Chains A and B, each alone.
Chain A
Amino acid sequence: MSYEVVGITVLWIFLYGYLIVASIDFGAGFFSYYSRITNKKHVVHNIIQRYLSPVWEVTNVFLVFFFVGIVGFFPDTAYYYGTALLIPGSIAIILLALRGSYYAFATYGAKDSHLYSFLYGATGLLIPASLTTVLTISEGGYLFVENGNVQLLYGELFTSAYSWGVVFLAIVSVLFISAAFLTYYASRAKDKPALEVVRKYALSWSLPTIITGIVVFFLLGKRNPEHFSNMMDLWWMFGISFVTFVGATVLIWKRRNYGTAFVLVMIQFFTAFFAYGAAHLPYLLYPYLTIYDGFTNEAMAIALIVAFIGGLLLLIPSLILLMRLFLFDAEYVEGKK
């Protein structure tokens, strides 16, 4: 594998990691607020809080990791995406800032406020929508580049079916992934009432997720035929994605093996996300930037990869410790510690 491919693979894995952990978090915020206005707060609030409190900060790091990493490996992305995304990027920052800090204010400041809860729920849906702008414009046709000046075509962005499709896909996926995880977590916690609520959420978001997924798949075909035909070459990966989706939904429906169901959901998104990403190569931004012309120098590439391996050696044991203490420790999950 060339350094370019190693670099983008590393980054894509981290983006996938963010997709999963952030979805759980974003969806949990929404469900937490939704259950509040439907007077079911006392049922699900506890399990959501028990999971989120120790890990919310870690979630944020995945995102920072990705955007710092991409500038490190592909400095030219800073130029194109940085110039074009000033407004959507800033909006995402503001939403993330409100969300992160108000979560901490509410949790550690020990004040149960309706406003905080609303902010937390609403931003959980708006952030995925604003972050997906990056994926949307990477397909090409949304930028105007002339004399080294890059502009985002807002008219095109807001009127294109594809960009709206991606926004909806992001939101429903967030809710589905999150509900599937919470179902598993509630079953670990042996919290029957909560389990009933979140299981219903998971089932009701499963169908919208797969339908939007298929719709966006075909919208992309219209938007970027080259990317689409590459994706068709990887049809089997999307096939695995679909099969695992069906498997997960059936398990949740039959109230069995919630843990396996969540792993299947993770595979569902892993295969779809990687097939999408692999088919997009070699472009980082169609048609201006490929992973080859935007790549950093060799010395930096080696240094980054070494740092990455060293970092992982440190991180993986720590993450395992975190999960053992808060995710797989039955007594903690059940609320006895």
Chain B
Amino acid sequence: MFGFEYDPVIYSRILTALTLGFHIIFATIGVGVPLMIAIAEWMGIKRNDPHYTLLARRWARGFVVTVAVGVVTGTAIGLQLSLLWPNFMQAAGHTIGLPLFLEIFAFFFEAIFLGIYLYTWDRFKSKMKHFLLVIPIVIGASASAFFITTVNGFMNIPQGFELVDGVLTNVNPLVAMFNPATPTKVAHVIITCYLTSAFILGTIAAIHLIKGNNHVYHKKALHLTMVSGAVFAIATAVIGDLSGKYLHEYQPEKLAAAEWHFETETEAPLILGGILTEDNEVKYALEIPYALSILAGGTPGSEVVGLNDFPEDELPPLWVHYAFDLMVGIGMYLAAVSVLFVVMSWRKKWNPLNKPLLWAVAAGGPLSMIAIESGWVFAEVGRQPWIINGIMRTEEGATTSAHVDIMFVLFVTLYIILGVTCAVVLRRMFKKNPVEHELEKRGMEQPKRVSNE
């Protein structure tokens, strides 16, 4: 297949990338949407506005469908780690067993309360009681992101053990978990999940408004998601800056690869876009003087280590620059759109619901997901050739099994089927039961009297 010789390492890498790439679409939604649901339900209670409560309710309904796919693909990646990377798991199990285990607890916690939350909309007299049930879901979702990201942090900055003749000794699980990569990675992952989810829900509202469906419900949805989006986007920018400083200090080769920065120097420029020729010349790029030094060290005088200072067989592929730029570019775009929307809503005379801005918001959802994917690709490919940075090379961690190619075909088929059905089901769910219909059915004057679903 693909015209190259069977190599379990290559196939294991592609299959892991595929599963993870598919999983993070749903995982991102799984981490971010509960917070948006919580905010909407809270607004509904505080303002005594049934529109927000209905918003929470409809989001929650769509959310379960995506959760299901997230759960099953999460199970898949969990098992695949052992099936495709047995040597890695054997070595790393000694140091990262704890966060993996804790992640399951967080997930367990979330699963229990999600079941309760969905089936108790009308069971408690006090709305507040039902709202409280969403809090463990938000905590559980973000906590599982936290724990699993510390594992990834460990793979980037392994610590908390000593390697004596190839054997791991003196293990300290907490030191391994709270490695230098953990703070920026965790913060970045969680905040971008929030940002992406806000934009995906914003996209839905924007599309309804573009279609000329001017119901106040959609306006409230758009406003809520864009105000949250603006907050998350600004936080993302701040954390992104910290991530740059982290890379500069701990993984300079990753930063240098992202920025095509070859010579170690001070006053280093930041390179946007462009292409790299075969003799490592950067063409058609936009250079911002000093920006890389400022990003990395805070001052133009900061010295940034270049790619030429590393042995060639320890460098990641240089195309990660494109993934990096795509992520940063989309991040900027999302910040601009959401902040613009918020500013325009403040001013009485300006109309934030103009068509061009609505289109810009509508594009934000899919774009933010692309940014998530490219950010992951950058982070993961950027630490190649290592599976545990500086300790174990990727090819040493992979399975030796002879059938990874067949499994790859099977999983591609599975994800296509799951992805398509999920989209179809979600579409039909909301098409068949539009908001107007539900408002009417629930008799919004007495929003308490609704049947169980």
User: A105 CA to B417 CA in the complex, in Å?
Assistant: 12
User: A64 CA to B61 CA in the complex, in Å?
Assistant: 25
Specify the chain A residue showing the minimal Cβ separation from B12. A86
Which residues from chain A contact B92 at a C-beta distance below 8 Å?
75
Which residues from chain A contact B104 at a C-beta distance below 8 Å?
61, 64-65, 68-69
Nearest Cβ on chain A to B36's Cβ, whole angstroms: 18
In chain A, positions 70-116 with a C-beta closer than 8 Å to chain B are: 71-76, 78-83, 85-87, 89-90, 92-94, 96-105, 108-111
Residue A243 at the chain B interface, CB threshold 8 Å = no
Specify the chain B residue showing the minimal Cβ separation from A80. B86
User: A111 CA to B107 CA in the complex, in Å?
Assistant: 28
User: A279 CA to B24 CA in the complex, in Å?
Assistant: 42
Residue B114 at the chain A interface, CB threshold 8 Å = yes
Whether A318 and B414, one on each chain, are in contact in the complex, defined by CB atoms closer than 8 angstroms, is no
User: A96 CA to B69 CA in the complex, in Å?
Assistant: 11
Whether B100 and A68, one on each chain, are in contact in the complex, defined by CB atoms closer than 8 angstroms, is yes
Whether B404 and A86, one on each chain, are in contact in the complex, defined by CB atoms closer than 8 angstroms, is yes
Residue A55 at the chain B interface, CB threshold 8 Å = yes
Nearest Cβ on chain B to A143's Cβ, whole angstroms: 13
In chain B, positions 68-104 with a C-beta closer than 8 Å to chain A are: 68-69, 71-76, 78-87, 89-95, 97-98, 100-104
Q: A60-B71, A94-B414 are in contact. Are A101 and B421 (CB under 8 A)?
A: yes
Whether A78 and B89, one on each chain, are in contact in the complex, defined by CB atoms closer than 8 angstroms, is yes
Nearest Cβ on chain B to A326's Cβ, whole angstroms: 7
Whether B73 and A71, one on each chain, are in contact in the complex, defined by CB atoms closer than 8 angstroms, is no
In chain B, positions 162-216 with a C-beta closer than 8 Å to chain A are: 168-174
Residue in A64, A80, A311 whose beta carbon sits within 8 Å of that of B102 in the complex: A311
Specify the chain A residue showing the minimal Cβ separation from B425. A109
Q: Interface size bucket, B side? A: 35 or more
Which residues from chain A contact B102 at a C-beta distance below 8 Å?
307, 311
Which residues from chain A contact B86 at a C-beta distance below 8 Å?
78-80, 82-83
Whether A101 and B68, one on each chain, are in contact in the complex, defined by CB atoms closer than 8 angstroms, is yes
Q: A78-B86, A297-B94, A322-B116 are in contact. Are A111 and B101 (CB under 8 A)?
A: no
Whether A86 and B69, one on each chain, are in contact in the complex, defined by CB atoms closer than 8 angstroms, is no
Whether B64 and A108, one on each chain, are in contact in the complex, defined by CB atoms closer than 8 angstroms, is yes
User: A245 CA to B429 CA in the complex, in Å?
Assistant: 45
Residue A232 at the chain B interface, CB threshold 8 Å = no
User: A149 CA to B69 CA in the complex, in Å?
Assistant: 34
Residue B111 at the chain A interface, CB threshold 8 Å = yes
**Which residues of A does B touch, CB under 8 Å?**
53-55, 57-58, 60-61, 63-65, 67-69, 71-76, 78-83, 85-87, 89-90, 92-94, 96-105, 108-111, 149-151, 296-297, 299-300, 303-304, 307-308, 310-311, 314-315, 318-319, 321-322, 325-326, 337
Given A71-B97, A109-B429, output 14 extra A-B contacts at Cβ < 8 Å: A54-B115, A57-B71, A61-B108, A65-B104, A67-B79, A75-B90, A78-B82, A78-B86, A82-B84, A85-B83, A101-B72, A111-B425, A303-B173, A337-B452
15 contacts between A and B (CB under 8 A): A53-B115, A57-B68, A64-B74, A71-B81, A75-B90, A90-B410, A90-B411, A97-B76, A108-B429, A150-B400, A300-B95, A304-B101, A311-B102, A311-B108, A315-B109
**Which residues of B does A touch, CB under 8 Å?**
61, 64-65, 67-69, 71-76, 78-87, 89-95, 97-98, 100-105, 107-109, 111-116, 118-120, 123, 136, 168-174, 399-401, 403-404, 406-407, 410-411, 414, 417-418, 421-422, 425-426, 428-429, 432, 452
